[in-house]
């Protein structure tokens, strides 16, 4: 791994440094939110995060970006922590866009009916949805129709087409959509995801975070992405569900001049993301072991009679949880 790190990043990221970046976003959130009993100041924290990562060297930023998009397992589902983490992923993607030349890019504040990130240079706009998932997600890949909502992309683009012209650039042109995605959650084999993303009339590019990182490491600029989207009718004369065909087409279109080098980078990335997964498993295992010790100490301190009561209540909850909830609802809502 050392030779690969030096080749692509110009230096050897030690194990400690790699782990620092694997946990960087989670630790940043922990440092900036001390009280979760009230909603975090999301916009303020996102702005602070943006300032921090804007100062990273390209190599450090690319390494952080390559393995991102995996929500920490210790966050509650649909929690403020999860929402804030997802927002910081959007900040990462926006910073990437600015670094490759989309200097007018920004994070959308209006979330209800707008894209996550507006990737922009002058009058050219790409609407972007930045995805994040847990490594422990129950599905190997997310539901396609919940992930790629073509109607949303059409609505987002239409908004730009109908918006007031820019004072300097004139009428806006939204040329397509972009989904940034953690590759361990990709759809394998044939999938409607690739059918949607190979529609020549309504381009929606799916690209993994490691691809964004390589973009930076080899100095590619915004014009590569613009050309890719504009060439969709030629690249995809007919839509297809085939994963291999899709990625071979878009990646060769972007990285053909460094094709062999790109595949060497993917080998290094595979080692890095495997290490990240193992690190996550180790953290969970330590947490479970510590929880087991704590529970054991608490039980040891309980009197036998109280312990029996606790066991009865616990078993009743496990075996009759649903009916107990229904009883609670009857008493709460069906008064007579």
* In a shared domain, residues 260 and 309: no
* In a shared domain, residues 41 and 186: yes
Q: Is the pLDDT of residue 110 over 80?
A: no
Parent domain of 325? 284-333
pLDDT on residue 171: 83
Strands 133-134 and 70-71 turn out to be parallel
Q: Give the number of domains in the chain.
A: 2
* In a shared domain, residues 60 and 159: yes
User: Per residue in 40-76, pLDDT tens?
Assistant: 999 999 999 999 999 999 999 999 999 999 999 999 9
Cα–Cα distance for residue pair 61/217, rounded to 1 Å:
10
What mean pLDDT is reported for the chain? 92
* In a shared domain, residues 122 and 209: yes
* In a shared domain, residues 25 and 43: yes
* In a shared domain, residues 73 and 209: yes
When pLDDT is averaged across residues 204-219 and rounded to a whole number, the result is 97
CA atoms lying within 13 Å on the CB side of residue 119? 27
User: Per residue in 280-308, pLDDT tens?
Assistant: 999 999 999 999 999 889 888 888 888 88
Share of the chain above pLDDT 90, in %: 71
Q: Is the pLDDT of residue 93 over 90?
A: yes
Give the CA diameter of the chain: 78
* In a shared domain, residues 176 and 305: no
When pLDDT is averaged across residues 139-166 and rounded to a whole number, the result is 84
* In a shared domain, residues 136 and 179: yes
- Per-residue H/E/C for 34-81: CCCCCCCCHHHHHHHHHHHHHCCCHHHHHHHHHCCCEECCCCCCCCHH
Q: Is the pLDDT of residue 335 over 70?
A: no
When pLDDT is averaged across residues 8-37 and rounded to a whole number, the result is 93
* In a shared domain, residues 60 and 83: yes
pLDDT on residue 336: 62
pLDDT on residue 1: 84
Q: Is the pLDDT of residue 26 over 70?
A: yes
Q: In this structure, are residues 49 and 87 in contact, taking their beta carbons and an 8 Å threshold?
A: no
When pLDDT is averaged across residues 140-154 and rounded to a whole number, the result is 86
* In a shared domain, residues 261 and 306: no
pLDDT on residue 235: 97
Residue finishing a domain among 268, 283, 298: 283
When pLDDT is averaged across residues 176-202 and rounded to a whole number, the result is 93
Residues 6+ apart with CB under 8 A from 138: none
Residues 6+ apart with CB under 8 A from 65: 92, 96, 209, 212, 213, 216
When pLDDT is averaged across residues 242-254 and rounded to a whole number, the result is 96
Cα–Cα distance for residue pair 61/219, rounded to 1 Å:
13
pLDDT on residue 159: 85
Q: Is the pLDDT of residue 141 over 90?
A: no
């Amino acid at each position: 791994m050392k030779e690969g790190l030096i080749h692509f990043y110009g230096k050897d990221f030690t194990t400690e440094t790699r782990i620092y970046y694997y946990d960087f976003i989670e630790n940043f959130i922990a440092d900036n939110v001390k009280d979760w009993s009230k909603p975090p100041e999301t916009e303020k924290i996102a702005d602070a995060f943006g300032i921090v990562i804007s100062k990273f060297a390209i190599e450090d930023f690319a390494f952080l970006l390559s393995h991102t998009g995996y929500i920490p397992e210790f966050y509650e589902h649909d929690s403020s922590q999860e929402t804030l983490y997802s927002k910081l992923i959007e900040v990462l993607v926006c910073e990437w866009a600015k670094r490759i030349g989309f200097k007018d890019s920004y994070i959308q504040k209006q979330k209800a009916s707008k894209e996550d990130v507006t990737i922009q240079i002058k009058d050219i706009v790409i609407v972007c949805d930045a995805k994040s998932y847990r490594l422990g997600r129950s599905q190997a890949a997310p539901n396609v129709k919940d992930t790629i909502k073509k109607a949303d992309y059409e609505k987002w683009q239409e908004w730009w087409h109908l918006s007031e012209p820019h004072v300097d650039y004139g009428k806006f042109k939204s040329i397509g959509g972009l989904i940034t995605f953690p590759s361990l959650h990709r759809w394998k084999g044939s999938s409607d995801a690739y059918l949607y993303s190979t529609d020549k009339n309504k381009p929606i590019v799916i690209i993994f975070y490691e691809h964004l990182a390589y973009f930076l490491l080899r100095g590619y600029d915004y014009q590569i992405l613009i050309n890719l989207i504009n060439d969709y009718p030629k690249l995809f004369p007919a839509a297809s569900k085939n994963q291999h065909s899709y990625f071979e087409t878009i990646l060769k279109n972007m990285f053909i001049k460094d094709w062999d080098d790109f595949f060497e980078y993917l080998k290094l990335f595979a080692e890095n993301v495997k290490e990240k997964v193992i690190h996550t498993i180790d953290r969970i295992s330590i947490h479970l072991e510590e929880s087991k010790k704590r529970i054991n100490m608490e039980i040891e301190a309980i009197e036998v009679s109280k312990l029996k009561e606790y066991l009865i209540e616990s078993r009743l909850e496990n075996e009759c949880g649903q009916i107990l909830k229904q009883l609670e609802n009857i008493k709460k809502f069906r008064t007579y």
